[in-house]
Chains A and B, each alone.
Chain A
Amino acid sequence: MSFAKIDDDILRTLRAPGPMWYGGMLLALSAALVGLFAFLYQARTGLGVAGYEHPILWGIYITDFVFWVGIAHSGTLISAVLFLFRARWRTAVARAAEAMTVFAVMTAGLFPIIHIGRPWFFYWLIPYPNERQLWVNFRSPLVWDLFAISTYLTVSAMFLYLGLMPDIAAARDRVKDWRQPIYKVLALGWRGTSRQWQHHAALYGFFAALATPLVVSVHSVVSWDFAVAILPGWHSTIFAPYFVAGAIFSGIAMVITLLLPLRRIFKLERYITVHHFENLAKLMLTTSLIVSYAYLTEFFVAWYSGNPFEQGTFYDRMFGQYWGYSWMMFTCNVILPLLLFVKSFRTNLKALFVLSIFVNIGMWLERYVIIVSSLSHDFDPANWAGVYQPTWVEAAITIGSFGLFFTLFLLFIKNFPALSITEMKETMDRKAEADPAASWPEPV
């Protein structure tokens, strides 16, 4: 193993795509177009085509919003938090997770716009001097959301780009096809001088230090969209840590879902090993336990509060009209992840892949249950009969969001190094320094 070999192996992933990539792209793009069509239909016809019915005026779109923001969280956790803790194994998975973060935030950011009645006026959320002479209400959590999500998108995109810059320069010098001029522009003339590395390394550390509190704040702010309302099932002080843990849990599941096929298609078994997946599985298990604890705490607090509305909401959640979703959520997020205590399960990649999909489904359902079942059981018993039925438009837009996310991700991995070339070389260098006789680990 040498620096040149790392370059060759990773830049090989940028070669002309094979049938699997085209197949995936076709599927993802078709799904994205279905979503776009449904959105245009909704914009033209009106929000009535979504299944909202009083009192359930937040539904699938807000579920999707929270889900995608959650998916974004593991990228920053892996690239920033694990960087600060010097967990070196992150090198192999950080780039894909960072890219996933950026695309998931982009996807999430669309949902508040899709959810509003007149999406073409979404910019009214931005505080700017305008002809209406009005300012936004900074006391509203929806404005906090705008600030949190746009900050998160900007910072995570810069973080991704900063790490990519030396790798794009490597691609610029090695990949001789129509993309070379694009790499040339994006590399910004990176030369790899010691002065550039000095500032690069300093800024990377600061980005990690800034992104860590940011990642905690973003999902906390999202959770306050609910927690500052007085609705039973939402009005809870545990929401911020509960949502942050859930976000990281679902995000890691998505990293596993994406990385396993990526590793297989690009034959990167030498770099992304079973050891990496086992570590991700351990993180998933830890966050699953935190989420399970939060579920139980919610029920305990509802019971202990002595508030009949609070108790009613949680009883209804388990045994009311949405019981199926709640029990599925429990199975996927609490019971199935317990299998990860078994080492042979953690190191069985097929089993891990299947579990990660269950966790993705479970975490989507969690948001659905929190939003819809709480809204359906407010303070007015006359409202309790209403059942929210998602329409085909909402389903199509949700499918479209997955399509958009996977389209962006597939385009990224075919055009940019899916693993950090620089960090791979650094890790190799450090290993060689520590023990010159040690060879690069062989694929498992």
Chain B
Amino acid sequence: MADTTQILGIFDHGAKAADGARAILDGGLGDVVAYSPVPDHAIDQALHVGVSPVRLFVLIGGLLGCATGFLFPIYTVLDWPLITGGKPLISIPPFVVIAFELTILFGALGGMASFLWLAGLPRVTGQPAPDDRFTNDMYGISVTCLPEDADAVRATLERHGANEVKG
């Protein structure tokens, strides 16, 4: 990857940035990373962003929580059998409450952990984004391309209305 170069196009509108990104990808000019102050569906479509796998981890967490919520109380009552209130040791109805809460807790924790992992967070070193304005009001299209394509990339970004092109 040593022989690639980075070019950054800065746009004032999401639709323009999406068009620019689509043109780069359609032309096979390089890889694109898009930055935006808000989630932008036009950019998502241009970059073919699919369904997030976070949902799988929420499901796994939830199922694990539900199982824990039943199995753990059952284990504890068998570990030290102590009848209270004349109720059976393994009383499913009260354990449903524990299972319900743990389903939600583990589902949420699973979702949060997978989000951080998939989104590459926390990112401790280096500059968060190549330009501070991407959290404010500007959109960025960062293109990783071969040096010989750099001029074509710059021209494409400018043609699609980039306010600035860097690199």
- Identify the A interface with B (CB < 8 A): 2-4, 7, 127, 133-139, 143-144, 147-148, 150-151, 154-155, 158, 162, 166, 169-170, 172-174, 187-203, 206-207, 210-211, 213-214, 217, 221, 422, 425-426, 429
Q: Which residues of B contact A139 (CB under 8 A)?
A: 84-85, 87, 91, 94
Q: Which residues of B contact A2 (CB under 8 A)?
A: 137
Q: Which residues of A contact B128 (CB under 8 A)?
A: 169, 172, 187, 189-191
Could you say which of B23-31, B105-113, B146-154 contacts chain A? B105-113
Contact A221 B44 (CB under 8 A): no
Q: Which residues of B contact A210 (CB under 8 A)?
A: 58, 104, 107-108, 111
Smallest CB gap from A169: residue in B = B135
Contact A425 B37 (CB under 8 A): yes
Assembly CA distance A2 to B107 (angstroms): 37
Assembly CA distance A203 to B117 (angstroms): 12
Smallest CB gap from B116: residue in A = A188
Flag whether B47 is at the interface (Cβ < 8 A): yes
Query: Which residues of chain B from 42 to 62 have a CB within 8 Å of any chain A CB?
Result: 43-44, 47, 49, 51-52, 54-55, 58
Contact A135 B137 (CB under 8 A): no
Contact B35 A207 (CB under 8 A): no
Given contacts A158-B112, A173-B132, contact A202 B104 (CB under 8 A): no
B40, B105, B123: which contacts A155 (Cβ < 8 A)?
B105
Q: Which residues of A contact B49 (CB under 8 A)?
A: 194-195, 198
Contact B135 A213 (CB under 8 A): no
Flag whether B66 is at the interface (Cβ < 8 A): no
Tell me the dominant secondary structure on chain A's binding face: helix
Given contacts A154-B105, A191-B129, A221-B97, contact A429 B121 (CB under 8 A): no
Q: In the complex, what's the smallest C-beta–C-beta distance from A172 to chain B, in angstroms?
A: 8
Shortest 7 CB-CB distances between A and B: which pairs? A189-B123, A3-B137, A202-B52, A135-B76, A188-B122, A138-B73, A197-B39
Contact A200 B115 (CB under 8 A): yes
Assembly CA distance A214 to B106 (angstroms): 12
Assembly CA distance A135 to B80 (angstroms): 7
A138, A150, A214, A422: which contacts B94 (Cβ < 8 A)?
A138
Could you count the A-B residue pairs with CB atoms below 8 Å apart for me: how many are there?
186
Contact B52 A198 (CB under 8 A): yes
Smallest CB gap from B43: residue in A = A194
Contact A196 B119 (CB under 8 A): yes
Smallest CB gap from A154: residue in B = B105
Assembly CA distance A135 to B89 (angstroms): 13
Given contacts A151-B101, A195-B49, A197-B36, contact A137 B108 (CB under 8 A): no
Assembly CA distance A194 to B54 (angstroms): 15
Assembly CA distance A362 to B31 (angstroms): 61
Smallest CB gap from B74: residue in A = A138
Flag whether B145 is at the interface (Cβ < 8 A): no
B38, B97, B121: which contacts A190 (Cβ < 8 A)?
B121
Contact B134 A192 (CB under 8 A): yes
Q: Which residues of A contact B112 (CB under 8 A)?
A: 158, 162, 203
Given contacts A138-B95, A139-B85, contact A189 B36 (CB under 8 A): no
Contact B121 A206 (CB under 8 A): no
Contact B107 A425 (CB under 8 A): no
Q: In the complex, what's the smallest C-beta–C-beta distance from B143 to chain A, in angstroms?
A: 13
Q: Which residues of A contact B133 (CB under 8 A)?
A: 173
Flag whether B9 is at the interface (Cβ < 8 A): no
Q: In the complex, what's the smallest C-beta–C-beta distance from A107 to chain B, in angstroms?
A: 20
Smallest CB gap from A194: residue in B = B34
